[in-house]
Amino acid sequence: MRLTVADNSAALSSEMLNCVKYDAGLCTSCTQIQVPYHEQILLKQQAAAQLLAEVAGQQGFEWLPPAKSELAGFRNKAKFVVGGRGGALTLGLVRPDGAPIDLTDCPIQDPRINSAASILLEFLNSTRLSPYSVTEKRGELKFVLVTVSPLGQLLVRFVVRSLRAVRKLAARASTLRESLPEAVTVTVNLLPEHKAVLEGEEELVLWGAELAMQLEDVTLYLLPQSFFQTNTEVAISLYQQAQEWVKQVGPRRVLDLYCGVGGFSLFLAPEAGEVQGVEISAAAVKAARKAARRQRSNARFVAADATKYALQLPPNKRPDLLVVNPPRRGIGTELADWIRESPEIEWVVYSSCNPRSLAADIARLKNFRIESARLFDMFAHTAHAEVAVLLQRQ
């Protein structure tokens, strides 16, 4: 069976996305789906602007036009909870009462994920493995995680409870490989614990090693446990905006903290004399180094804790432009103090998935001012907002 791409034209006929699961009260993840899209963008920008205005004081700064999302088919990854029963499984959600909700037709997911889900469901049913029950603490299949690249290749991960399930999936791997050739990497993650987490530490490879994400002139390599933005087109806009800011500034040395698999570093490298990426995940750094080699980039990468690495840098090794893309909690007091007290750092590009922690960190950087800001709508139909700012030392 080959993948087919569904037609989303009906869903895109207006600024409102139609979703039968939301209308029926079966899935309410898209909390803003009944708000016209232009209003969603306006509300997000207003909320972010208010937060940043409070820390900017009387200083004015430029809000660039927002980077908007497609209304449908924009999610490049899906987390399916396995429900139902052995031989009659579902992929989607499981309600608190145990009732499964099928989400293999979710309109915000890339249609190639939804097409793949039907093949994956047929494969899992053939194993006769049972879904995991949180309340009963028994069963084998927990999640199916799917990521799609711009060229339609797939990274598929099965999260299971025991080695018995691993062996059953491995025994039928050739069948899946034949029916889903778009899956270039397939792994099984072992999560034996009875706790509310997405994955365990042990990842067993059925085939492949990575997923190539082609982003304009840059190709990133995602490993099974790598982080990547959920909206590919908006992620490209984010990287290109940072690239444009760096082109304007012309820094000699760039330090990219929390660099992940190297997105910012590789986009910025052509515009800077020297680029160093820092990421605590050794696997992500390995992937970033591979991307740099293949693209003959001058970006270099090191596996280290971002704050600890920065604090040990001597003055002559500190950057004149710093890039930070931290977790939702932000960069925190220690790193903010170091930035503030390092006169060598003239510019900061700060990308945040949490405008509140972004505003709190900017408030700590008292000797920097906001020059420019932009909203990136990674998560359409929700209240979540990604905001990037360019800061200059005063």
Give catalytic residue positions. 353
List beta partners, residue 274.
253
d(CA 92, CA 143): 9
Token pair for residue 216? Answer: 């304009």
**Residue 157: which H helix or E strand, with range?**
strand 154-160
SS (H, E, C) 291-351: HHHHCCCCEEEEECCHHHHHHCCCHHHCCCEEEECCCCCCCHHHHHHHHHCCCCCCEEEEE
Token pair for residue 355? Answer: 């405008």
Q: Which of 171, 180, 124, 176 is nearest to 152 (CA)?
A: 180
Residues contacting 9, CB < 8 A, separation 6+: none
Residue 167, SS3 per DSSP: helix
Token pair for residue 180? Answer: 């889903």
Q: Identify the sign of the CA torsion 219, 220, 223, 224.
A: negative
Token pair for residue 288? Answer: 């970033």
d(CA 123, CA 87): 10
Q: What are the respective helix, strand and coil percentages of the chain, to the nearest 5? A: 30, 30, 40
Residue 122, SS3 per DSSP: helix
Exposure on the CB side of residue 339, measured as CA atoms within 13 A:
32
Exposure on the CB side of residue 264, measured as CA atoms within 13 A:
30
On whether the CB atoms of residues 182 and 152 are closer than 8 A, the answer is yes
Q: Identify the sign of the CA torsion 27, 32, 35, 38.
A: negative
List beta partners, residue 222.
211
Length of the chain, please? 394
